[in-house]
Chains A and B, each alone.
Chain A
Amino acid sequence: MAAPVLRLGFPGRLWALTWRDGGSRHRSGSQTGPTSIWARRQSSVAQPSLHTAQKPRKGEHKWAAVVGLEIHAQISSNSKLFSGAQVCFAAPPNSLVSYFDASLPGTLPVLNRRCVEAAVMTGLALNCHINKKSLFDRKHYFYSDLPAGYQITQQRLPIAANGHLTYCIYLGKKPSQETTKTVRIKQIQLEQDSGKSLHDDLRSQTLIDLNRAGIGLLEVVLEPDLCCGEEAALAVRELQLILQALGTSQANMAEGQLRVDANISVHHPGEPLGVRTEVKNLNSLRFLAKAIDYEIQRQITELENGGEILNETRSFDYKLGCTMPMRDKEGKQDYRFMPEPNLPPLVLYDDTSLPQGADSQQVINVDQLRDMLPELPSATRERLVQQYGMLPEHSFALLNEVGLLEFFQNVIKETRTEPKKVTNWVLNTFLCYLKQQNLAVSESPVTPSALAELLNLLDRKAISSSAAKQVFEELWKGEGKTAAQIVSEQKLELMQDQEALEKLCQTTIDGHPQVVMDVKKRNPKAINKLIGLVRKASLSRADPALIKKILERKLSL
Chain B
Amino acid sequence: MWSRAASVRFRAPLDAGRSFASKAGPQGKIQAAGLGTQAPRLVPQGNGRVSPAVIEHLERLALVNFGSREAVDRLEKAIAFADQLHAVDTDGVEPLESVLEDRCLYLRSDNVAEGSCAEELLQNSNHVVEEYFVAPPGNISLPDMVNKIPSSTAE
A residues in contact (CB < 8 Å) with B: 66-68, 70, 77-79, 83-86, 92-100, 102, 104, 110-116, 135, 140, 142-144, 155-156, 186, 197-201, 204-210, 221, 224, 263-265, 273, 276, 327-328, 330-341, 343-347, 361-362, 364
A113 partner, pick from B107, B114, B115, B122, beta carbons under 8 A: B107
Jot down 17 A-B pairs with beta carbons below 8 A, ordered by A: A79-B111, A92-B118, A93-B132, A98-B117, A135-B98, A140-B61, A206-B135, A206-B137, A207-B129, A207-B133, A263-B16, A276-B15, A276-B17, A276-B18, A345-B105, A361-B109, A362-B104
Contact A339:B17 (CB < 8 A) given known A331-B38, A332-B36: no
**In the complex, are the beta carbons of A84 and B112 less than 8 A apart?**
yes
Interface SS of chain A: loop
Stretch among B3-11, B67-75, B79-87, B146-154 lining the A interface: B3-11
Leading 4 A-B pairs by shortest Cβ distance: A84-B113, A144-B135, A98-B114, A114-B110
**In the complex, are the beta carbons of B112 and A79 less than 8 A apart?**
yes
Cα distance A330–B60 in the bound complex, in angstroms = 13
| A contact residues around B133 at 8 Å (CB) | 94, 144, 207-210
Q: Name the CB-closest residue of B to A223.
A: B16
| B contact residues around A335 at 8 Å (CB) | 13, 35
- In the complex, what's the smallest C-beta–C-beta distance from A44 to chain B, in angstroms? 34
| B contact residues around A332 at 8 Å (CB) | 35-39
**In the complex, are the beta carbons of A224 and B17 less than 8 A apart?**
yes
Contact A205:B134 (CB < 8 A) given known A84-B111, A344-B105, A345-B98: yes
B118 partner, pick from A83, A93, A115, beta carbons under 8 A: A93
**In the complex, are the beta carbons of B112 and A86 less than 8 A apart?**
yes
B135 partner, pick from A94, A208, A221, beta carbons under 8 A: A208
| A contact residues around B124 at 8 Å (CB) | 102, 104
Contact A97:B115 (CB < 8 A) given known A207-B129, A328-B139, A344-B104: yes
**In the complex, are the beta carbons of A265 and B37 less than 8 A apart?**
no
**In the complex, are the beta carbons of A345 and B131 less than 8 A apart?**
no
**In the complex, are the beta carbons of A66 and B107 less than 8 A apart?**
no
**In the complex, are the beta carbons of A112 and B114 less than 8 A apart?**
no
**In the complex, are the beta carbons of B108 and A112 less than 8 A apart?**
yes
Q: B155 at the A/B interface (Cβ < 8 Å)?
A: no
| A contact residues around B57 at 8 Å (CB) | 334
**In the complex, are the beta carbons of B103 and A224 less than 8 A apart?**
no
Contact A156:B11 (CB < 8 A) given known A68-B16, A79-B113, A328-B139: yes
**In the complex, are the beta carbons of A339 and B97 less than 8 A apart?**
yes
Most buried by A among B98, B131, B132: B132
**In the complex, are the beta carbons of B97 and A345 less than 8 A apart?**
yes
Q: B141 at the A/B interface (Cβ < 8 Å)?
A: yes
A338 partner, pick from B3, B13, B38, B117, beta carbons under 8 A: B3
A206 partner, pick from B14, B116, B118, B134, beta carbons under 8 A: B134
**In the complex, are the beta carbons of A339 and B98 less than 8 A apart?**
yes
- In the complex, what's the smallest C-beta–C-beta distance from A188 to chain B, in angstroms? 12
| A contact residues around B102 at 8 Å (CB) | 344
**In the complex, are the beta carbons of A113 and B112 less than 8 A apart?**
no
| A contact residues around B97 at 8 Å (CB) | 135, 339, 345
